[in-house]
Amino acid sequence: MTNDDILVSISCITYNHGSFLRECLDSLVGQKTDFRFEIILHDDASTDGTQEIVREYVDKYPEILFPIIQVENQFSQGVRGMMTRFNFPRCRGKYIAICEGDDYWIDPLKLQKQVDFLESNQDYAMCFHNAYLYYQETDKKEIFRPLEEREYSASEILRTWTIPTASVLFRKDSIDFSGTLNPRYIYGDIIMFLTIAEHGKIWCMKDPMSVYRIHPGGMTSERMTIKKLELLILHQKQIQKDFSQKYAKILDKDIAGSLMFLSFLQLKEGRISSLKSGYESLKY
């Protein structure tokens, strides 16, 4: 198979997703398209049977699934940006789609619809769609957000969590991979979306075609702590720096809100002496 044969590369990262991965991979290999696609997967040394499932699917789909299976956990060694570092450089398609191992797609024509749109609209660098939020512990499902069928600006995307990660399809040449690897960034997906927006417009399809799973082991379920807030503020300040103050009005408000919440948590925990020193340490 040559690079020219593949139009879409699906980037998937996994870590202890053994309970969910079959549903994810079945939804990816089940896409109905008039073009060829590949699945580029990175597993970060899972210990729950995820790796065995990956090998099983490689045996079933050797022409589609191409994994890196780590022996040592990279995240625990301080490595961040798993997709950018391990998957994107291996992607051979003109377009990249994303689906992490605990999420899944629900429309078998998802890729076809998105490719058709981008092929017909060369001024757009990315398209995304609505999704469902699925709460694993309560078995509750709800629509992600009342998204509209229209163009969305980078400012809108930054201001509000607008894009379900498993919904995106973008042109591979729309992103400079290295820019998302700054260690101050804790939410690499928003940096990726802002970078893509520098190269073209972003379109939203209103129909939900994927599911974002919320479960105890997922990132979204983590409680906000003082340390996480401090990292969030550094993340917000880095966006200001890297994007030349383009989003200063939004970020100034976000940073002020983060600092107020940080102060509240420090006071709640009786860390009054940390207030001033905390502000000083978060300065550039």
pLDDT higher than 80, residue 59: yes
Under the banding of pLDDT at 50, 70 and 90, the label for residue 1 is very low
pLDDT higher than 80, residue 128: yes
- Contact between 117 and 201 (Cβ < 8 Å): no
Under the banding of pLDDT at 50, 70 and 90, the label for residue 157 is very high
Under the banding of pLDDT at 50, 70 and 90, the label for residue 220 is low
The reply to whether the predicted model has a pTM over 0.85 is yes
- In this prediction, residue 216 carries a pLDDT of 81
Residues 204 and 235 in one domain: no
Residues 208 and 232 in one domain: no
CB within 8 Å of 7: residues ≥ 6 apart: 33, 35, 36, 37, 93, 94, 95, 115
Residues 155 and 269 in one domain: no
The Cα–Cα gap between 130 and 180 comes to 24
What's the CA angle centered on 7, arms 2 and 11, to 5 degrees? 100
Distance of CA 253 to the CA centre of its chain: 24
Which CATH number is 204's domain given? 3.90.550.10
Residues 93 and 166 in one domain: yes
Residues 169 and 245 in one domain: no
- Strand locations in the chain, DSSP E? 6-14, 36-43, 65-69, 95-98, 104-105, 124-135, 140-143, 150-152, 169-171, 201-214
Q: Cα torsion for 279, 272, 221, 241, to the nearest 10°?
A: 0
User: Between these two residues, 283 and 143, which has the higher pLDDT value?
Assistant: 143
- In this prediction, residue 230 carries a pLDDT of 87
Residues 208 and 231 in one domain: no
- In this prediction, residue 244 carries a pLDDT of 80
Residue 219 placed within a domain:
no
Residue 109 placed within a domain:
yes
For the ranges 2-16, 95-109, 206-220, the one whose mean pLDDT is highest: 95-109
Residue 118 placed within a domain:
yes
- In this prediction, residue 210 carries a pLDDT of 98
- Contact between 65 and 41 (Cβ < 8 Å): yes
Amino acid residing at 208 = P
- pLDDT tens column, 14-58: 999 999 999 999 999 999 999 999 999 999 999 999 999 999 999
In the chain, the percentage of residues whose pLDDT exceeds 70 is: 90
59's enclosing H/E stretch is: helix 50-60
Average pLDDT over residues 172-193: 84
The Cα–Cα gap between 25 and 30 comes to 8
pLDDT higher than 60, residue 3: no
Q: Which of 235-239, 249-253, 257-261 has the lowest mean pLDDT?
A: 257-261
The Cα–Cα gap between 207 and 29 comes to 21
Average pLDDT over residues 236-244: 88
Residues 163 and 268 in one domain: no
Query: In which domain, by residue range, is 143 found?
Result: 3-214
Average pLDDT over residues 99-116: 98
Report the residue count for the chain.
Answer: 284
Residues 257 and 188 in one domain: no
- In this prediction, residue 9 carries a pLDDT of 98
Q: Which of 185, 214, 243 is the last residue of a domain?
A: 214
Residues 137 and 61 in one domain: yes
Residues 264 and 160 in one domain: no
Both tokens of residue 211?
């599911």
Residues 261 and 232 in one domain: yes
Q: Considering its fold, how many domains does the chain have in total?
A: 2
Under the banding of pLDDT at 50, 70 and 90, the label for residue 280 is low
Q: Which of 183, 214, 245 is the last residue of a domain?
A: 214
Average pLDDT over residues 149-157: 96
Residue 178 placed within a domain:
yes
Q: Which of 28-42, 66-80, 110-124, 233-247 has the lowest mean pLDDT?
A: 233-247
Average pLDDT over residues 118-146: 96
Residues 182 and 237 in one domain: no
